[in-house]
Structures are given as structure tokens and as C-alpha cells.
Amino acid sequence: MSFHKESLKQAFISTMPLLAGFSFMGVAYGVYLNSAGFNFIFAFLMSSTIFSGSMEFLTVSLLSQSFNPLAVLILTLIINFRHIFYGISMLKNFEVRSLWKYYLIFGLCDQTFVINYNARLSPDVIKEKFMLYVTLLTHVYWVGGATIGGLIGSFFKVEIKGLDFVMTALFLVMFATQFMDEDHHVSSISGLIIALTSLLLFGKDFFLIATLIILVIQFSIIFRRSVSYNESD
């Protein structure tokens, strides 16, 4: 896939909130990894190959104790279960006829999904290249931050308590941006209501899976109704 300046420019503008959030969180991860006894090489390798923020933090503690591959596999599937729904939503968008398709699948996380799925692109931007650059830039922010954090942890003693709020703040900014760009707010408001209801009914350990399942059912019904309505016209 050849270089395209306008697509890269639009991708960079779209990922600017991630530049701050991912880089800062990556630094925290690198410092945390170093405090557990791993040098910056591990920060670089792990952030490059495990592109899943919460699972990367958890991996540090898993590597610091007796290793159980089956338990790690099950835990990883539970934590990243939501990516199944992201993947289903992006099947049509990822119909890219090149090996970059597999990199887009690898780099599909909460933030890249939101940006690529909701992107409103100008006519001079190529969508395939835009999605690729969004994924690549996001990956670079994370790997770069983690590596720098690993290096900082090697030379200085750094207090990392409270840095986990960075990702929460990042999600709030992205939600607010998407909310303001919507023509109507059915999806955002229903998502909030369903998430809060699921939290009350299923608890913090299972509410995310329950929320995603309910949302998929809800929007499947809405989609079928809209298709039926258009066919009747």
C-alpha cells in the first residue's frame, strides 16, 4: 500500500487525543514493567506484540508468578471478548486486498475502532490508507511511550499511582467528541443506559460483556427494521 499524504494528515489529526493518552499511558506501563524487574527491551517487545492495554498490564503480574498457559488464555479471551463485536462491525471496512488487512485486524482496539468506524473523510482521503495510518500511528504512540517509560524506569524511581486514570479520561474525551458529531444521540444515550443497567445487574466483572451483547441485539433489530422499511418504499 503506497504512501498517501492527505490520508496520513487526516489520520494524524484524528489520533491527536491518542498521542497524549497512549503515550502517557505507555510511559506508565514501561515504568511499571521496569519496577517488576523487566528492562526496557521487554517494554518494547511486549507493547509491540500485545496490543491490548489492560491485558498488557495484567501480563506483568502473570509473568511475575507461576505461569499457567491455560489460565492466561481464558483470561485473555474474557478481557478481550469485546473485540469480537468490534471485528464483526468492521468486516466490510476491512475488505482490503493486501497483507495490511492482517495488521488492521491486529491493531483493532477500542480507540482505533471508534476512529475508523465513525470517520467522516474528505473526498481526497483514501479510506483504506486512512485506517492503516490510524492503526499505525496509534501503535507507534503506545510502543514509543512504553519504551520511553522503560528507559525512564531504568534510571529514575517514579511513582505511578493514579496514572491508570489516563485511559478513563481518554475514553471520556472520545465519547464527548463522538456525541457532538452525531446527528442524533440514540446510540450514545442508549449505550449509557444499557451500560449502567448492566453494571447494576451483573457487577463490574461481567457488565461489559452483557452490555455488548445487548447492544448488538438492539442494533440488529434497528438495522433489520430500517432495511424492511427501505424495501417497503
Q: From 164, 158, 149, 145, select the one nearest 33 (Cα to Cα).
A: 149
pLDDT(64) > 80: no
**Residue 215 pLDDT class (50, 70, 90 cuts):** confident
**Residue 17 pLDDT class (50, 70, 90 cuts):** confident
pLDDT(226) > 70: no
Name the more confident of 58 and 167: 58
CA distance 74 to 141: 28
So what's the pLDDT on residue 142?
92
**CA distances from residue 187 to 215, 216, 226 in whole angstroms, order as listed:** 9, 11, 15
- % of the chain surpassing 90 pLDDT: 13
pLDDT(25) > 70: yes
Burial bucket for residue 183 (CB in 10 Å: 0-12, 13-18, 19+): exposed
So what's the pLDDT on residue 97?
74
Three-state SS string over 145-212 comes to HHHHHHHHHHHCCCCCCCCCHHHHHHHHHHHHHHHHHCCCCHHHHHHHHHHHHHHHHHCCCCHHHHHH
**Residue 52 pLDDT class (50, 70, 90 cuts):** confident
So what's the pLDDT on residue 177?
66
Q: Rounded mean pLDDT of 15-31?
A: 85
So what's the pLDDT on residue 140?
94
Specify the residue for cell string 492527505.
Answer: 6
So what's the pLDDT on residue 53?
67
Name the more confident of 199 and 212: 199
CB contact burial 55-86 (16+ within 10 A = b; e otherwise): ebebbbeeeeeeeeeeeeeeebeeeeebbebb
With a CB cutoff of 8 Å and minimum separation 6, the contacts of 204 are none
**Residue 100 pLDDT class (50, 70, 90 cuts):** confident
So what's the pLDDT on residue 170?
57
